[in-house]
Amino acid sequence: MSRVLIIGCGGVASVAIQKCCQVSEVFTDICIASRTKSKCDDLADKLRGKTATNITTAKVDADNVDELVELINSYKPELVMNIALPYQDLTIMDACLICGVNYMDTANYEPEDIEDPQWKEIYEKRCKEEGFSAYFDYSWQWAYKEKFEKAGLTALLGSGFDPGVTQCYCAYALKHHFDTIETIDILDCNGGDHGYPFATNFNPEINLREVSAPGSYWENGHWVEIPAMSIKREYEFDKVGIKDMYLLHHEEIESLAKNIPGVKRIRFFMTFGQSYLTHMKCLENVGMLSTTPIMYEGREIVPIQFLKALLPEPATLGPRTKGKTNIGCIFTGKKDGKDKTYYVYNVCDHEECYKEVGSQAISYTTGVPAMCGALMLLTKKWDKKGVYTVEEFDPDPYMEALSKYGLPYEETFEPVLVD
């Protein structure tokens, strides 16, 4: 019997909510709250009668701590699932602390306004000290560790696929297959085709910022930063085929570097087609990816937000997308003094996802782990007070839940390695 408040009702949240409703013996009551209440009402109407979960809805601006506190205090959930945007991570964590409620999300904190001088000062110091320049990092949320410990609460960070399942794969590899892991390559392949010349599979602002930023990887105890898209490899993915992939910075590298003892190198690769990259470069060159407001005909507009309004809504890609995703981790390391390699991955089919929940595989592969993370906390299979990322918990029950609710894993002990 658990009451859960879910904030956000976009692509990922709608999958997570539908999945929670499939496990109504645990998720007995959910409240879906977002900025646009009509979206929450539409989803609740669609689900009523098909699930034993009691669903209510609310309007909330999650940038506003007071509004959040009022909603949490009136609904009295055990857990708040933040599936809005990374911009809201800290305000929702603050509200959870004030109300004494557990917290989880699917992506680490990133500020909406990167020109904010207070934030910028800390950011520039971090770039110099740590050696990577992504706008997001864990320091903001790790700073809450003591507060959550003292309050006897848990905050689970990044329970999506990557971050999320990829870190669970690392914990699983370490627990069952290696004495020491030396290298980790995280490979994220989307072999899907939606038929549009250009669209992003999830929130365009978050997606385009990530892809247009410099890449970086962890090697021998420090970050190595490279120009965006400057390391390219070709890889043959099971059930997808040969794809070009590019080295990106990705948030889970930061926590894995801390939590996988002795790891020498961690890289993250994502596949992109040439057409996507050409469109993105062109938009970047003309300033459309900028988050800095400009004046247009007497009105302030943010170029990337204007672009978002022009692009297809990620949620509308579902019915058009064909093909599969393949996301997983390749490990090298030692077991019983011998060299060993291991590749664990999930293959997910866009059309199958659409049939089940009306979304493509990108939202599905994030929404299912969000539900599974909540399930771990609510059933107390994961029960540690403080602020944690996925690899810091026992991977076995999470792997089991992922397999049961739609994301089974496949494995090979003879993978082709990435050079």
CB of 219 to ligand NDP, least distance (A): 24
Residue 107 or 289 having the CB closest to ligand NDP: 107
Nearest-CB residue to ligand NDP? 10
36 binds ligand NDP (CB under 6 A): yes
Q: Which of residues 24, 26, 46, 61 is near ligand NDP by CB under 6 A?
A: 61
Residue 224 or 307 having the CB closest to ligand NDP: 307
375 binds ligand NDP (CB under 6 A): no
Nearest alpha carbon to residue 327 among 291, 383, 366: 366
Residue 23 or 95 having the CB closest to ligand NDP: 95
Residue 216 or 366 having the CB closest to ligand NDP: 366
157 binds ligand NDP (CB under 6 A): no
Instruction: Tell me the window of 55-63, 135-143, 260-268, 384-392 that interacts with ligand NDP (CB under 6 A).
Output: 55-63
Q: Which of residues 2, 88, 216, 325 is near ligand NDP by CB under 6 A?
A: 88
Kindly tell me the sign of the dihedral angle through the C-alpha atoms of 294, 299, 301, 307. Answer: negative
Instruction: Tell me the window of 28-36, 44-52, 95-103, 127-135 that interacts with ligand NDP (CB under 6 A).
Output: 28-36
Q: Which of residues 47, 85, 181, 263 is near ligand NDP by CB under 6 A?
A: 85
269 binds ligand NDP (CB under 6 A): no
96 binds ligand NDP (CB under 6 A): no
206 binds ligand NDP (CB under 6 A): yes
At 90, list the tokens: 């800290």
At 345, list the tokens: 């991955």
CA dihedral 271, 277, 283, 287 (to 10 degrees): 70
CB of 255 to ligand NDP, least distance (A): 12
CB of 150 to ligand NDP, least distance (A): 27
305 binds ligand NDP (CB under 6 A): no
199 binds ligand NDP (CB under 6 A): no
Instruction: Tell me the window of 70-78, 168-176, 200-208, 230-238 that interacts with ligand NDP (CB under 6 A).
Output: 200-208
368 binds ligand NDP (CB under 6 A): no
Q: Which of residues 163, 333, 373, 406 is near ligand NDP by CB under 6 A?
A: 163
32 binds ligand NDP (CB under 6 A): no
Write out the residues near ligand NDP by the rule CB under 6 A: 7-13, 34-36, 39, 60-63, 83-86, 88, 106-107, 158, 160-164, 202-203, 206, 314, 366
